[in-house]
Every structure is written in structure tokens, then in C-alpha cells.
A = this chain, B = another copy of it.
Amino acid sequence: MNFKKLLLKAHFRIAPYIHNTAVLTSKTINTICNSQLYFKCENFQKMGAFKMRGATNALLQLTPNQKEKGVVTHSSGNFAQAVALAARNIGIKAYIVMPKNAPQVKKEAVIGYGGIVIESDSTPIAREQKAEEVMKETGATFVHPSNDIPVIIGQGTATMELLNLYPDLEAVITPVGGGGLLAGTALAVHFFGKNCQTFAGEPDEANDAYRSLKSGKIESNKTTNTIADGLRTQLGNNNFPIIQKYVSAIICVSEEEIIRAMKLIWERLKIVVEPSSAVAFAALLKEKESFKNKKIGVILSGGNVDLTNLPF
């Protein structure tokens, strides 16, 4: 596959539907890290997370026949809202399979963006089965939150924008959960960076990607007991080979390190980011000696957080 061409096409395809988000810096944070950090603020993205990029890129490439029948996905997180909003933007139906026990506020957010919520039991298998049922009944096309190539490519556009502004970045770091953002970022760094490397931060409590890179095959999470709720998912067969080929290292961080990094972002950048977003910065803080004196892009993945239930 010509990933470079796919990235360039996606960049222009989705531009009218997304924000080219701001990049923030902080002298205090640079002093703490002894490096120059450029925070790409996907918390300012439409619906509040980078997921809007991949969802939009996937939906815009549907055939007219597919568009008529709509799309289906299963997610209780940001991808649910992203598909709902991207679908509304281009005038198609979106069926979102969500677990019965998902917070009401998340269901309402999807409905607010025009999505059709379909409830399932909360196990991964039950959710997949329900999605298949919907596909059969409606003819809707399934879109995977992190493993479909158009989704992966769409997520890479955040880093294309970042490198466009700061072409001499020496590293870009993202959080890793399902692997879509990390794979897309690694491709963008490979094709549009100059001597630039890709890194990821991952919670100790959901370190499937770290162990997968070590073992050379997709490993399962042993626990998902992390505050970084967007990172409890597993790698997929499409994004894993890309991650193997193009990612330099994955750095694991504790819950305490995630919360400390999150608080520092809120205090110093004066922005609201979700715990998953803080994982990449937490990894940088942990390994700051390795990144000393470097210019580094940090992808802040999203800002959808329950303000009444903060960890500090």
C-alpha cells in the first residue's frame, strides 16, 4: 500500500470537516523536561478528540450505495461520538453499539450528534455480535475504531499538521490503546519527518502494545485497570505491523505518573485533557534524560472528561 499517498489524500479530504488544531508550548514545562515540547491539542478537535479524523476519513470514502445504508461501529468512547458526528456531517446514518451499562452522558452525547444508539451486553463478544446483527438487518458498513486502514490514515493527519508547522521535530509521542493513532502517527513521521522518531506512552495497567512489540506478536491485556479509559483496547492485525516497523519504543507509566502528568498539563497549559492524553507526556517525563535537548511533538489525544470525577 502507498501509505504516503493515502496520507496526503486524507489530509486534503478531511480538511473541511475537522479543525487544524492549535499547538501549545510552555516555558515551565520545557524547563522541567530540559527539552522543547510542542503539544498538538486534539482536545480542541471537533467532538473533543482526534478520533474525528479517522472517522471522517473512513466515512468520506464510502461508495454511494454504502452511504445510503449507513455505518455501524461499537464503542463507548470517543469513536462513538466521532462516527456519529462525521456521519451527520455527510448526511448518512450511524448505528452505534454501546454497552447497556455505559454512562448515560455518553449515550446522550452520541444521540446529540445524531447517532442511533443500540444497546448490547457489555462483553466484547456481545458487542461484536450486536454490531453484526445491525449490519445484517440494515446493510450498514462496519467501521473499526482503530484497525481499519482509512481510520489509521486519518489519525496520522494530526502529525502531518504538526510537522507542517515544525518540520524539524526529532520525535513525536502519542498514547497507545487500540493502536490506530500510534500507527497513523508513525506513518506520518516516517513519510513527512526528517530524522524524526515515533514513540508511545502506555499505562502499566494495560500494556499489551509494549509486550506485543517485545514478543513480536499481538498480546492481550492482562488488566485494564487504568484511569486512561481510552487505552484499555487491544492492537489489531492492520496497525500492529505498522507499529512494529515504524515505532522506536513504547514507554510504560504508572497510574500515579499519568495523574501527575495530567495535572501538570492542566496547570501549565490551562487546558482540559483526558487521562489518556496525559499518558504520552507522562512517558516523556519519565524518560526525560533520554529526550534531553530535543524538539518533541506530543499528541494530546482528547479532552472528554467527567469534570465531576477528577483524579486530583
Q: Please give the residue numbers on chain A whose beta carbons come within 8 Å of chain B beta carbons, in ascending order.
A: 22, 24, 41, 43-44, 48, 263, 266-267, 270-273, 303, 307-308, 310, 312
B307–A263 contact, CB under 8 A? yes
Shortest beta-carbon distance from A196 to chain B in Å: 26
Tell me, rounded to whole Å, the shortest Cβ–Cβ distance linking A102 to chain B: 18
Distance between A20 CB and nearest chain B CB, rounded to angstroms: 13
Within the complex, which residue of B263, B272, B308, B312 is in contact with A270, where a contact is CB–CB below 8 Å?
A: B272
C-alpha spacing A266/B24, complex, angstroms:
17
Chain B, Cβ-Cβ closest to A22: B22
Q: Closest residue to A265 on the B side, CB-wise?
A: B272
Residues of B within 8 A of A272 (CB): 266-267, 270-272
Contact of A44 among B267, B270, B303, B310 (CB under 8 A): B270
| Bound complex: CA A271 to CA B271 (Å) | 4
Give A266 to B267 CA distance when docked, in angstroms. Answer: 13
With both chains docked as a complex, state the minimum distance between the C-beta of A38 and any C-beta of chain B, in angstroms. 15
Taking a contact as CB atoms under 8 Å apart, the answer to whether A303 and B22 are in contact is no
A-B contact pairs, 17 of them (CB 8 A): A22-B22, A24-B44, A41-B270, A43-B270, A44-B270, A48-B270, A263-B307, A266-B307, A267-B272, A267-B307, A270-B271, A270-B272, A271-B271, A271-B272, A307-B312, A308-B312, A310-B310
Chain B contacts for A307, CB-based, 8 A = 263, 266-267, 310, 312
Q: Which residues of B contact A263 (CB under 8 A)?
A: 307
- Tell me which residues across on chain B come within 8 A of A267, comparing CB atoms: 272, 307
A48 to B26, CA, bound (A): 11
Q: How far is the CA of A280 from the CA of B205 in the complex (A)?
A: 42
Additional pairs, 10, CB under 8 Å, beyond known A41-B270, A263-B307: A24-B44, A44-B270, A267-B272, A267-B307, A270-B271, A270-B273, A271-B272, A272-B272, A308-B312, A310-B310
